A and B are shown apart, each in its own frame.
Chain A
Amino acid sequence: MTGSALHVHDLTVALGGRPVVRRVDLTVRTGEFVTVLGGNGSGKSTLVRAALGLVPATSGEVELLGSPLPRFRDWHRVGYVPQRTSAASGVPATVREVVTSGRLAHRRLLRRLARRDHAAVDAALDAVDLSDRAGDSVAELSGGQQQRVLIARALVTDPDLLVLDEPTAGVDLPHQNLLSEVLESHSARGVAIVLVAHELGPLDRLVDRAVVLRDGRVVFDGSPGDATTTAAPHHHAHGDGTPGGDVLGPGWADRP
């Protein structure tokens, strides 16, 4: 299938023998901004992780940027923000070092960083407003700042497909607005964006399409405005009683 940044067909993923994503079809066109919504345990995170090859699919097919996943090699065209609460590891690393590691798909073995790598790192740091913290240890930053480091690490590869798994958890409103501007400019440049979230906040206005997952199945796929009316009653009709199981999250329910 041409013209699609991400194409998932009949995808089933089982974790530990339990089906978590069930027969999902999803196509994200070039330049499209799609959000995958759903409550905790709805399978939204597993869906994108399987689409990127991070968890094996039980059955079904995935195409990334026009190539079947097993043959896909153009990883420099994919930016990924994993779901993390911290960007730190056991050894200190500076903000710049972590962001630079996002550039690896562009680098050959045993080569030094090229000038355009440095420029990309500077631009990514600037985009998330962390240029003045470049030399600081990521562990010393607040949770929201660390989240922005992870976003910069995904932007630095100059992706055609950007996958973000709950990137705004712990990010304050001014910086959610900043992120929304960054994503808007990437979206305008034709970057396909897949955003996993349970509430959208300021990103709401950018979304072309919303896909709502419930218990591993797609229960809604369409205009984000309709997601509230279509999916929410569905949720109430089959409420599973899990805490935080509100399909669309408070950001949606409270909308006028």
Chain B
Amino acid sequence: MTIIETPTPAPASLPPGTRGRFGLSDRGFRWTLGAAALVVAALAAWFLVSIVLQARPAFSTLGFSWIFQGTWDPSHGKYGLLPFILGTLEVTAIAVVLAVPIGLGTALALAYLVPARTRAGLSTTVELLAAVPSVVYGLWGLVVLAPVFRDTVEPFLTSVLGWTGLFDGPDQGVGLLLAGVILFVMIMPTMVAISRDVLAVVPNEQLEGAMALGATRWQVLRKVVVPGARTGLLGAFTLATGRALGETVAVALVIGNSPYIAHSIKSPAATIPSLIVNNFGEATGTELAVLFAAGLVLLVIGITVNSVARWLVWSTAGPSAGAAAR
């Protein structure tokens, strides 16, 4: 089967001005395209405006101070968002702290160390895993990883790093640490696929030049490849961060959902998305508006992080880098 069909020219017998089967003049065609583009633009605007409008009651009745207050108790009119903002940042921080060195090392290995024959297979595997739905990672984290964390990982970390005070409290399995680790696993494919693409655009002449000067393989990677791809790598990390910030279901399943500020890395906590998804069903009135407002806060953070990331990646490797992992 040939996929590329031979283009058929328009029948030459048609007198000028006759409508073809498609019935669209050039002007009509342009209008159709423009109208469709307008639909998308309007949809994006509708999205933004509707969330802003629905979140407004939260700001008009409560002001702005509730965003940074620490108590969440809707039945007593307390809507402190701070525990969830902190939870979101902490979980994301754990994921990113793990993902940056490991992701960079993996991308370097995939781009320059792995033999060419296995490279394609490994890269494809990593990219395919980016397509695994997040709810599946959540299920795995809750059913498989949580008991392992409770019985093995957390006791071990407490005995080794307990003196830091980060690991106080009981070993529960679910909590900040597990959520951060699950997020780390989830953002790895995105991070690796994009990092590999931006690392691969460093010109060969520069690598050869460094080798000719007697640099070892690691020195070439460290002093030529990584600095050359710096901006794009930063973009890849930022994009992965954006993904971690907005993740809902995987985190909601493994974080333990506690509306208090976590006192330890093992504590159950909650994030803005998990707050929204867990309270949406029963919320009415002010609480619902507060949830919309929390969504708006998340949206603003998410759009900012993503815009910066796109700009960074584009400026290194062009608009199509990492397209496979989007």
Query: Do the two chains belong together in a single complex?
Result: no
Q: Give residues in A with beta carbon < 8 Å to B.
A: none
